[in-house]
Structure 1
Amino acid sequence: MHQAKPSQDEAFDQERQVAEYLIAHPDFLTRHPEVLGAIEVPHGIQGAVSLIEYQVRLLRRQLAVERNRLAHLIARARENEALVIRLHRLFLQLMVVNDSAHLCHLLRETLLRDFNAEALAFKLFAHASLDRRPHDPLVNAFADFMDRRNALCGPLSPERARTLFGAAGMGIHSAAIVPIQTEGQSGILAIGSADATRFSPEMGTDFLNRLGEIISQKLRTVRLGHCEST
């Protein structure tokens, strides 16, 4: 008498139980080497290989993935450390700035260099004037952003690039936009790059947030003046 063939669900459940048992008893094939002669071990390469060799190759691939992940984390940590050093250096320089021209030159030179960027823009508005400029393209484009506390990084549309950076915006494809809040004024600091991947939404913004806080505090004593233009 023939035994009924198990259904697909039953077969799947049996395979799962076998897999769970083998995982729970990794020495099973050592204790039952005869099983190796009756099973197929996929290896995706031409020629026969032993199970041990196959496992070694799997482990090597997993190790390569982990090494790449670790290298990425180390590179990110070094980059963050370098940014902290730059922020500290800029803070020390800002402490002794006491006039608008010096402040503008320092920020423009430092930020373009440190961020390897091509364009920089400061756009500040007196709080009282914002309601009187309902048709200003810049206010319309960034009104919601001016009330943010955190910086924003990512690709920049051609329209917003031109609004921010003027004629130079034609070659700008990504930007970091930092909110600036000071006494009686709200606005943004924008750092633009021709590289569309230079500033991405996945970037951390802690450094940029601290930068915005430091600049906002400095603007309480020294105005940017003509530096607001690109």
Structure 2
Amino acid sequence: MSEKTKALLDAESVAAWLEQHPRFFMERDELLTTLQIPHGPNGAVSLVERQISLLRERNNEMRGRLAHLMDVARDNDRLFDKTRRLILDVLEASNLEEVVGAVDDSLRHRFQVPYVSLILFSDTPLPVGRSVTLAEAQKALGGLLSGDKSACGTLRPQELSFLFGEDDGQIGSAAVASIGNQGMLAVGSPDPQHYKSTLGTLFLTHITEVLSRVLPRFNAPLRSVR
């Protein structure tokens, strides 16, 4: 039996079966969106068929948008969970050393951020983490410290040098968030497009808002950490 004959017999079998089950498509509307049925003479495309074609295209487009939104939602869920765990670690810290360690460890390992900089403001050197005076930070960063808003994108060389030290040459883009008059938190990536100027910094802002309320609790000198 040739393939052509076999295909014809299969088609005839399907047609005969459908003739015996006329309500088949009424119970399976989703199949109608995939069928191609010409309505015009000599293969011409009718208005109805064109409308159906457009509806299929829009349906596929909407499915693509929905899939993208689902991916974004899943990413946000994972990001929220990491942020929640970091905030709990910070709230449970019993000293400044544990706060600094929790932030650095979580961002580097849970969030997989390659470059992290937590800078605390103090008129005298702190024995934990990195500290500078507020005047020094304002001189080096200027507008990045204005208000309590976060900023992200490509920073100037002097800003990167102040924030990340010897790693500044490896950073293509960064996000910076102020911790009020307590300090600032910055994260960097070698990818110039990773922290775009339009990228939302909601989660980074959440972290710094918690730090601005936790850091004032710890003023006693502690041993330094690396």
Looking at structure 2, the residues matched to 155 and 69 of structure 1 have their Cα atoms a distance apart, in angstroms, of 29
Q: Distance in 1 between matches of 2:183 and 2:98?
A: 20
Q: For residues 9-48 of structure 1, what are the structure 2 equivalents within 5 Å?
A: none
> C-alpha separation between the residues in 1 aligned to 2:156 and 2:143?
17
| Partner Cα distance (1:189, 1:158) in 2 | 17
CA–CA separation in structure 2 for the residues paired with 1:117 and 1:94: 18
In the superposition, the TM-score normalised over structure 1's length comes to 0.64
Aligned to 2:171: 172
Greater mean alpha carbon deviation, residues 80-89 or residues 138-147 = 138-147
| Equivalent-residue separation in structure 2 for 1:71 and 1:141 (angstroms) | 43
Deviation of 1:96 (Å): 2.5
For the pair 1:206 / 2:177, whether they are aligned, the reply is no
Q: TM-score w.r.t. structure 2 length?
A: 0.65
The one-letter code matched in structure 1 to 2:139 is N
SS at 1:201 equivalent: coil
In structure 2, which of residues 76, 79, 88 is the aligned counterpart of residue 83 of structure 1? 79
Match of 1:111 among 100, 107, 111: 107
Match of 1:188 in 2: 184
Q: Which runs of 5+ in 1 are unaligned?
A: 1-32, 38-46
Segment of structure 1 superposing worse, 49-58 or 100-109: 49-58
User: Does the C-alpha gap of structure 1 residues 73 and 95 become closer, same or farther in structure 2, counting only changes over 3 Å?
Assistant: same
Following superposition, the deviation at residue 127 of structure 1 comes to 7.5
What is the deviation of 1:124? 2.9
SS of equivalent to 1:144: helix
Identity %: 31
After superposition, where does 1:100-179 map in structure 2 within 5 Å?
100-126=96-122, 129-130=133-134, 133=135, 136=136, 138-179=137-178
In structure 2, give the amino acid aligned to 1:169.
D
Q: Which residue of 2 aligns with 1:16?
A: none
The structural deviation recorded for 1:107 is 1.0
C-alpha distance in 2, partners of 1:57/1:127?
A: 70
- Does 167-176 or 85-94 show the bigger shift? 85-94
Unaligned regions of 5+ residues in structure 2, if any?
A: 1-38, 125-132
| Cα separation, 2, equivalents of 1:171 and 1:50 | 60
Matching residue's letter, 1:125: F
Cα distance in structure 2, aligned partners of 1:72 and 1:208: 23
Tell me which amino acid in the other structure corresponds to 1:149. D
How far apart are 1:99 and its partner, in Å? 2.8
Amino acid at match of 2:63: R
Q: Which of 188-197 and 157-166 deviates more? A: 157-166
**8 Å CA contact retained: 2:140, 2:158:** no
Task: State the Cα RMSD in Å.
Answer: 3.1
Is 2:67 aligned against 1:71?
yes
Matched residue type, 1:218: V
